[in-house]
Chains A and B, each alone.
Chain A
Amino acid sequence: MAIQIENLRKRYIGPDGSVVPVINISGFALADGEQVALIGTSGSGKTTLLHMIAGILVPDEGRIRYHTNGTDVNIATLSEVERDVFRGRNIGYIFQTHHLLSGFTALENVQLGMSFTGRAPDPAWAKHLLEEVGLAERLHYKPGKLSVGQQQRVAVARALANRPKLVLADEPTGALDSANAQQVLDLIRKLCSEVGASLLLVSHDLNIARQLSRVLGLSELNKLS
């Protein structure tokens, strides 16, 4: 799925009532299946941008166009319910911290990602994903019984549960040591290739970003002044 960002603007209202511009991007694009890194410093608006691309936030202005199978969808104009459904079916999201549900096992957390698409659940695929991320022996472990690296690998498997067309990864290695970070990155890239998903990975770590096919600098894209 190809994505086209055009004239995207987002502002927040500060506590004193002042308007704080956060995003002002004239445009960039992701090709179908492309794996792109977006680098930027803390507070530069990386997460806000990803939330808008995922339809969690709505931009004040601009378009976020998804091209797939001959259709063109601007997620910014969809209703909230339509955005939720679109996200559930087409987008996998990996957070900086794993954001797993503590009362659910690893397998249930992955299956949970399949619960909101309206499609038939696929437990075999959920198991396959966990095997792919090296957790075949930990299917029924709850997050509290897994290491931080293992938790993040479950989160990677969950993001791929619905065979998404786009994976958004918000500093997925930020909380990991270098060895675990490399493992998780490799898994994300491998699984995205396996399902044919485009990848937009946000990081402040240039070493991580450089391993992807293209690196975008948010400071260059985001014209706030």
Chain B
Amino acid sequence: MNLFQLVLKQMRQRSLSTWLTMLSILLGVGLGSAIMILQRGAGVLFGQTEYAFDVLIGAKGSPLQLTLNTVYQLDKSPGNIPYSLYEQMMTDRKYRSDIKIAVPLAVGDSYKGQRIVATMPKMFGVDDEGKELDDDHNLGYRPEKHFQIAQGKVFAPNKFEAVIGSDIPQLTGLKLGDQFQATHGMPAPNMPADVHPEQWTVAGVLAPTHTAADRVVYIPLITFYCIFEHEAGLEAIAQLQQGKAPAPATKEAEEEKHYSLNPDGTIDLKLPKSDWMLSAIMVHSRGGFNARNLMWNINNQNVAAAVSPAEEMRKFFDVFLSPSSRLLQAVSYLVTVVAGVGILVSIYNSVSARMREIAILRALGATRHRILTLICVEAGLIGLLGGTLGLLAGHVLGAAGSVFVERLVGEGFNWINVGPEEWIYLGAVVVLSVLAGLVPAMKAYRTPVADNLVAA
């Protein structure tokens, strides 16, 4: 019977106490590991620099709000910018030389709680005629990753058509060929919904991207301006910008359609382009210097603000997520230390109850060092088993966290990989356990054999 078998035998003999001690280690390590996974996941998810675009242009206000709204479809749009800025960017050499790809977006409607984003076909790598663009002009959703159409086709730029994200069929029941009406804004549950009369037909379904794009309904930009409320609102904004008071909407105006539909389903929009507004423009610049130059140029006029989404998210991560996760990490370390004290108490009690057994082992020829090793190995083994189970539990928690985050922002994180910090943590837990075992081991070490044999 070797040392290891002897230790296992002793642990099995006190299985309830062993399991309870392991459970306390499991809870501490599970919590610590889950926090590490979440921290890592949040770092990758919110602190990443791997966006398909490196400059985001939107209304002046909160850069973080603009980034969260555009990248993760969270929060409200901070405001509007004129469509003319987009046109200027595409034609004016001052901007154009810095831009590789620019895609405009307008938001404000939803369908069954999922956001509707108005954009252009080039978002999906095709031009207005439906011809595929080369990779240099295909924005995609991550660097080198382009949207793929799983079913159907990309919408026509001037028809009431839509392309839906891969999660939309499951979330809303929409499928290829279905028609739907947009709801104004994102009404709260149990609030009356303001449903627009226009009907869009689902022309295509995107392949999964595992980003927030999977939960978005994309419509052509022009169709967004066909909606009376948007048109009236945009006209009012235009008038305000010219220093005039907007005219109140009349019933006649509401009943009059602001676009006409051709027999082939294409739209003739009456709203002048000067009234068109955008929520944001995503820009893939020609390089780091160009990105800085473009941001400087945009930020030096009063129309809009340009931000780096990666920098904004890194700031967000550093200011909000990182300190709170460090606090949780500290709590998990405390829980682990408490679990270590639990090992100490458990083994100390067990040693007190086993003084006779230890004396017998000594009488059979076990040296003091052997007894010391026996107790420390037992403590280390409890730490190792409890810690390993804790890592498993932490990853199960991490998986649950990933599912939750995916539901929230449409993007989960990797919960399977065991990071180096988790291995270090497990090692530290085993060392802590052995140290916790050292106190009872010293008690066993000093056990007076003769006294305990006689007392028994």
Contacts and interface: CB of A to CB of B under 8 A. Distances in A.
A19 B9 CA distance: 43
B367 A114 contact: no
B257 to A, nearest CB: 88
Given A108-B1, A112-B1, A114-B1, A84 B368 contact: yes
A103 B364 contact: no
B3 to A, nearest CB: 8
5 contacts: A56-B453, A85-B365, A87-B365, A93-B364, A99-B356
A89 interface: yes
Return the 3 tightest CB-CB contacts between A and B, nearest first.
A88-B365, A103-B13, A116-B365
A57 B362 contact: no
A33 interface: no
B424 interface: no
Interface string B136-148: 0000000000000
Interface in A48-96: 48, 51, 54, 56-57, 80-81, 84-85, 87-89, 93, 95
B12 A84 contact: no
B450 A116 contact: no
B366 interface: yes
A111 interface: yes
B454 A97 contact: no
Contacts of B363: 54, 56, 87, 93, 95, 99
Contacts of A121: 1
A115 B456 contact: no
A58 to B, nearest CB: 10
B369 interface: yes
B365 A117 contact: yes
Contacts, number: 73
A127 to B, nearest CB: 14
Please tell me the size bucket of the interface on B: 20 to 34
Contacts of A104: 9
Contacts of B360: 99, 101
A56 B1 contact: no
B1 A84 contact: no
A104 B360 CA distance: 13
B370 interface: yes
B450 A51 contact: yes
Count chain A CB atoms within 10 A of each CB in B9, B365, B369 and give the residue with the most.
B365
A88 B453 contact: no
A41 to B, nearest CB: 16
Contacts of A47: 454
B187 to A, nearest CB: 67
B301 interface: no
Interface in A159-184: 162
A69 to B, nearest CB: 19
B57 to A, nearest CB: 73
A116 B367 contact: yes
Interface in B1-24: 1-3, 6, 9-10, 12-13
A89 B366 CA distance: 11
Contacts of A108: 1, 9
Contact of B368 (A57, A80, A87, A162): A80
Interface in A109-132: 111-117, 121
A157 to B, nearest CB: 13
A56 B449 contact: yes
Contacts of A103: 9-10, 12-13
B198 interface: no
A169 B13 CA distance: 28
A94 B366 CA distance: 16
A56 B450 contact: yes
Given A57-B450, A99-B453, A89 B1 contact: no
A101 B453 contact: no
Contacts of A48: 450
Nearest to B364: A113
Contacts of A84: 362, 365-368
B361 interface: yes
Interface string A180-223: 00000000000000000000000000000000000000000000
Interface string B443-456: 00000011001101
Interface in A133-153: none
Contacts of B13: 102-103
Nearest to B12: A103
Interface in B362-403: 362-370
A103 B10 CA distance: 7
Contacts of A57: 450
Contact of B365 (A51, A89, A97, A101): A89
Contacts of B12: 103
A214 to B, nearest CB: 25
A102 to B, nearest CB: 8
A115 B453 contact: no
A84 to B, nearest CB: 4
Contacts of B10: 103
A90 to B, nearest CB: 9
Given A112-B361, A113-B364, 10 more contacts: A51-B450, A80-B367, A81-B367, A84-B366, A88-B365, A103-B9, A115-B3, A116-B361, A117-B365, A121-B1
Contacts of B453: 51, 56, 95, 99
A162 B357 CA distance: 19
Nearest to B14: A103
A171 to B, nearest CB: 12
B9 A88 contact: no
Interface string B405-439: 00000000000000000000000000000000000
